[in-house]
């Protein structure tokens, strides 16, 4: 019997390490690497890594590389070679586009053709799922397990971990309780917890929707700024309240509140995107400059919660065809799309137009 953490638990621990600026070791069949998130690197750790002698690279996504005019030799991945005098501010300026316009002359950046793409890709996925900028300092190691043991670092079996990164963590119901709401006194809040230490997600059930008929449903993605603060930059607050009001009026429905803030990039990165939008980039361009895809959400979570609650088909409140396709793909039938057009204003008009033009949202 072993009390040691299993692979999924070690990955969760590694995400916490990376968020704190602690290195982790990835160990694969073709080699090992020491990995640090660029965003949480400090000058001392950079000096310590450089003192190890070997030359580290900064792995970034091809999206970020495109902005930096750096060649990505490995599809979605580029490895920027550190100049001999690389400083912490150089690393941060490659990782973070905040000052791209102020200091456009970062390059030309040299990128490496060779390297352990599997390890680099895994490292980037790890920092993304830790809601950090997709940029990692990677140093090839001769003996990964020895480095991990000597420094008490998390050691990840990369070959075993890689397939897990694409899988959705199993979710388990934790508790549900009555929650009278303004829209309906017959409200109930359910909490679901993933096994991988990730964010919990919620389901607000209104009334007692039948399980053998399509339920009025909404998959709402967390938006702290819109849902709580009444931000005018998006339409999330009015959509949240509009969906609940419609469920209250019909007497039944289910609203999933998925903790995938900022289309899955986290609130800090969403605020970075907002800052880029203030510099003139639209919502999609801002995500790309940061190194992310337009939309990093995983809607399988929504389908899974609906199925766990006994719903097989929905009347889905959305303007996003991607959500409909994903529900169908995951075995939840969408019998009707119910449009949810509320909350347009002078501040979000261009944002909504961009989503229609670039992300396929229905107007
Ligand atoms: N990255 C990023 N996320 C944003 C931005 N504005 C809003 N969000 C997030 O986008 C998510 C809401 O996505 P929407 O595109 O409005 O809606 P949707 O869920 O795809 O589609 P609907 O069902 O039609 O509402 C929330 O998680 C918000 O936090 C932005 O400019 N950048
Ligand atoms: Zn919003």
Q: Any idea of the CA torsion for 177, 200, 300, 12, to the nearest 10 degrees?
A: -150
Give all domains of the chain, ordered by start, each with its CATH number: 7-164 (3.90.870.10), 171-260+297-359 (3.40.50.10990)
Average pLDDT for the chain: 94
What pLDDT, in 10s, does the model give residues 59-92? 999 999 999 999 999 899 999 999 988 999 999 9
ipTM for the assembly: 0.97
Q: Are 79 and 120 in contact (CB under 8 A)?
A: yes
- Give the separation between CA 128 and CA 132, rounded to whole angstroms: 5
Which residues touch 32 (CB under 8 Å, ≥6 apart)?
25, 26, 119, 140, 141, 142, 143, 144, 145, 147
Q: Give residue 227 CA to ligand 2 midpoint distance, Å.
A: 7
Mean pLDDT, residues 317-344: 93
Q: Measured from the CA of 340, which atom of ligand 1 is nearest?
A: 24
Mean pLDDT, residues 25-37: 96
What pLDDT, in 10s, does the model give residues 215-226? 999 999 999 999
User: What region does 298 belong to: left with phi over 0, alpha with psi -120 to 50, or beta?
Assistant: beta
- Give the separation between CA 121 and CA 297, rounded to whole angstroms: 18
What pLDDT, in 10s, does the model give residues 166-179? 899 999 999 999 99
Ligand number nearest CA of 334 is 1
Lowest mean pLDDT among 136-150, 208-222, 266-280, 337-351: 337-351
pLDDT at 106 over 80: no
pLDDT band at 105 (very low <50, low <70, confident <90, very high): low
Q: Give residue 322 CA to ligand 2 midpoint distance, Å.
A: 17
What is the model's pLDDT at position 104? 66
Query: At 58, is the secondary structure helix, strand, or coil?
Result: strand
pLDDT band at 144 (very low <50, low <70, confident <90, very high): very high
DSSP 74: B
What is the model's pLDDT at position 352? 81
Mean pLDDT, residues 133-149: 97
Count the Cβ atoms, other than its own, within 10 Å of residue 92. Answer: 16
Q: Which of 234, 360, 363 to mutate to test the pocket of ligand 1 (most atoms within 8 A of CB)?
A: 234
CA angle 227, 230, 235 (to 5 degrees): 70
Ligand 1 pocket by Cβ (under 6 Å): 221-223, 234, 236, 239, 260-263, 265, 270, 273, 283, 287, 318-320, 323, 355, 361
Residue 317 phi/psi, 5° resolution? -80, 105
Say what percent of the chain tops pLDDT 70: 99
Q: Measured from the CA of 239, which atom of ligand 1 is nearest?
A: 25
Q: Give residue 82 CA to ligand 1 midpoint distance, Å.
A: 35
Ligand number nearest CA of 355 is 1
pLDDT band at 26 (very low <50, low <70, confident <90, very high): very high
pTM: predicted TM-score of the whole model, two decimal places:
0.95
Q: Are 218 and 256 in contact (CB under 8 A)?
A: yes
Lowest mean pLDDT among 42-46, 70-74, 106-110, 280-284: 106-110
How far from the centroid of its chain's Cα atoms is residue 254's Cα?
Answer: 24
What is the model's pLDDT at position 360? 75
Q: Which of 229, 270, 294, 326 to mutate to test the pocket of ligand 1 (most atoms within 8 A of CB)?
A: 270
Residues designated catalytic: 295, 297
Q: Give residue 257 CA to ligand 2 midpoint distance, Å.
A: 13
Indicate which residue's Cα is closest to atom 1 of ligand 1. 262
CA angle 186, 187, 192 (to 5 degrees): 145
Query: For ligand 2, a single-atom ion, which residues have Cβ within 5 Å?
Result: 223, 226, 234, 236
- Give the separation between CA 99 and CA 103, rounded to whole angstroms: 6
What is the model's pLDDT at position 151? 97
**The tokens of 251 are what?**
């007497």
Q: Measured from the CA of 265, which atom of ligand 1 is nearest?
A: 1
Q: Measured from the CA of 317, which atom of ligand 1 is nearest?
A: 23
Peptide bond into 108 cis (omega under 30): yes
Mean pLDDT, residues 222-243: 97
Q: Any idea of the CA torsion for 249, 228, 254, 245, to the nearest 10 degrees?
A: 10
Indicate which residue's Cα is closest to atom 2 of ligand 1. 262
- Give the separation between CA 101 and CA 106, rounded to whole angstroms: 10
What pLDDT, in 10s, does the model give residues 281-291? 999 999 999 99
Q: Give residue 250 CA to ligand 1 midpoint distance, Å.
A: 26
Q: Which of 12, 21, 165 is nearest to 91 (CA)?
A: 21
- Give the separation between CA 227 and CA 229, rounded to whole angstroms: 6
Distances (CA, A) of 231 to 169, 274, 286, 312, 347: 31, 12, 18, 34, 9
- Give the separation between CA 201 and CA 259, rounded to whole angstroms: 6
Element (H, E) at 276: helix 267-278
């Amino acid at each position: 019997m072993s009390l040691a953490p299993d692979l999924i638990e070690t990955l969760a621990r590694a995400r916490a390490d990376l968020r704190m600026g602690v290195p982790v070791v990835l160990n694969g069949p073709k080699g090992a690497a020491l990995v640090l998130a660029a965003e949480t690197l400090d000058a001392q750790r950079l000096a310590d890594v450089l003192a190890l002698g070997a030359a580290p690279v900064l792995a970034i996504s091809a999206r970020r590389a495109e902005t930096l005019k750096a060649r990505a030799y490995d599809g979605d991945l580029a490895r920027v070679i550190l100049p001999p005098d690389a400083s912490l501010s150089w690393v941060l300026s490659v990782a973070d586009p905040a000052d791209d316009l102020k200091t456009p002359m970062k390059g030309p950046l040299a990128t490496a053709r060779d390297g352990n793409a599997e390890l680099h890709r895994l490292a980037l996925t790890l920092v993304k799922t830790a809601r950090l900028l997709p940029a990692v300092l990677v140093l090839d190691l001769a003996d990964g397990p020895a480095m991990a043991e000597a420094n008490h670092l998390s050691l990840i079996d990369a070959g075993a971990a890689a397939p897990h990164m694409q899988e959705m963590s199993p979710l388990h119901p934790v508790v549900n309780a009555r929650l009278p709401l303004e829209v309906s006194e017959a409200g109930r809040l359910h909490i679901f917890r993933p096994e991988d230490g990730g964010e919990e997600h919620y389901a607000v059930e209104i009334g007692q929707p039948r399980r053998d008929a399509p339920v009025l449903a909404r998959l709402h993605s967390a938006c702290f700024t819109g849902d709580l603060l009444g931000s005018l930059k998006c339409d999330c607050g009015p959509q949240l309240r509009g969906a609940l009001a419609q469920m209250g009026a019909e007497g039944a429905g289910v609203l999933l509140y998925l903790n995938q803030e900022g289309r899955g990039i986290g609130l800090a990165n969403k605020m970075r995107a907002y800052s880029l939008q203030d510099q003139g980039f639209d919502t999609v361009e801002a995500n790309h400059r940061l190194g992310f895809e337009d939309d990093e959400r995983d809607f399988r979570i929504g389908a899974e919660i609906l199925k766990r609650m006994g719903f097989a088909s929905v009347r889905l409140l959305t303007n996003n065809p991607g959500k409909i396709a994903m529900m169908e793909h995951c075995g939840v039938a969408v019998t009707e799309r119910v449009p949810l057009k509320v909350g347009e204003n002078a501040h979000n008009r261009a944002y909504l137009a961009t989503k229609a033009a670039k992300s396929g949202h229905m107007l």
